Amino acid sequence: MRKILIVDDDQKTRTLLKAYLEKNQYEVLLAHNGETFLSEFQRYVDELSLVILDVMLPDTDGFALCKEVRRRSNLPIFMLTASSDETDRVVGLELGADDYIAKPYSPRELLARIKAIHRRFGGESAAAPRYYRFVGFTLDTIERSVTDANGEIVALTGLDFQLLKYFVEHPGEILDRTVLCEQTRGRDAGPLDRSLDVQISRMRLRLNDAGKQPLLIKTVRGAGYVFSAEVSSSHA
């Protein structure tokens, strides 16, 4: 049974989500403020499969919690944001959140998102290559990690890893925004959705490819993105 930690200061919302998700075979831990959340997170971090953070909390905010979670773990992070506030969504993504749920949302929508992210992060086929190597970097699909030429771990969120993995599996191909969002988020991007752009900018920074003319992940105007590095793969 997957274990999810949710922080929200509204008791009615917490109760509703817990009942709905447990009915659908998830174990749910609840927190009403940042202090309780961090205590529960520290206690159960090795057992959690996902955390869901409300932006507005009485003693802190979801951004600070997102930053702390990402410092300690690569767990998928959902942010609960105001429906009309693009700033909240962008800030959350820049701090390492993997996706957001806009308020008001239905428990059914949240469940669909949770199932989608668990499918995407749920493991690799034994027949697929384990390692992908490009310009000094090594992506390990089993450990879900990326290391540089010196063997140092590259800090990526779970969703960043998923996106990079899709890129290295399709080098030289022009991938449009719809395809990339479906593969990493399980949904289409709306015309005003900047989450993919923020994510790619963050990934370029992590891969030392953030100049005016990126060499690894190139923008193809009006078409999408292309991973232009030469990629090799192996099982060992």
Give residue 73's pLDDT. Answer: 82
Q: Are residues 112 and 142 in the same domain?
A: no
Q: Are residues 138 and 165 in the same domain?
A: yes
Q: pLDDT 10s per residue in the chain (236 long)?
A: 689 999 999 999 999 999 999 999 999 999 999 999 999 999 999 899 899 999 999 999 999 999 999 888 878 888 888 766 677 777 887 788 888 888 888 888 888 888 888 877 765 544 568 899 999 999 998 788 999 999 999 988 888 888 999 999 999 999 988 888 887 776 666 666 778 888 899 899 999 998 888 889 999 988 899 999 999 998 77
Q: Are residues 117 and 6 in the same domain?
A: yes
* Structural domain of 42: 2-121
Does any domain span residue 126?
no
Residues 6+ apart with CB under 8 A from 215: 209, 228, 229
Q: Are residues 181 and 144 in the same domain?
A: yes
Q: Environment class of residue 161 by beta-carbon count within 10 Å: exposed (0-12), middle (13-18) or buried (19+)?
A: buried
| CATH number of the domain bearing residue 90 | 3.40.50.2300
Q: Are residues 7 and 103 in the same domain?
A: yes
Question: How far is 29 from 38, CA to CA, in rounded Å?
Answer: 12
| CATH number of the domain bearing residue 142 | 1.10.10.10
Cβ-contact 143, 182 below 8 angstroms: no
Q: Are residues 83 and 103 in the same domain?
A: yes
Question: How far is 135 from 141, CA to CA, in rounded Å?
Answer: 17
Does any domain span residue 64?
yes
- Domain edge (last residue) among 121, 155, 179: 121
Q: How many domains does the chain have?
A: 2
Q: Are residues 113 and 8 in the same domain?
A: yes
Cβ-contact 211, 205 below 8 angstroms: no
Q: Are residues 6 and 115 in the same domain?
A: yes
Residue indicated by tokens 């990934």 = 203
Q: Are residues 9 and 109 in the same domain?
A: yes
Q: Are residues 54 and 104 in the same domain?
A: yes
Helices and strands counted in the chain (H then E): 8, 12
Model confidence, pTM:
0.62
Give residue 191's pLDDT. Answer: 62
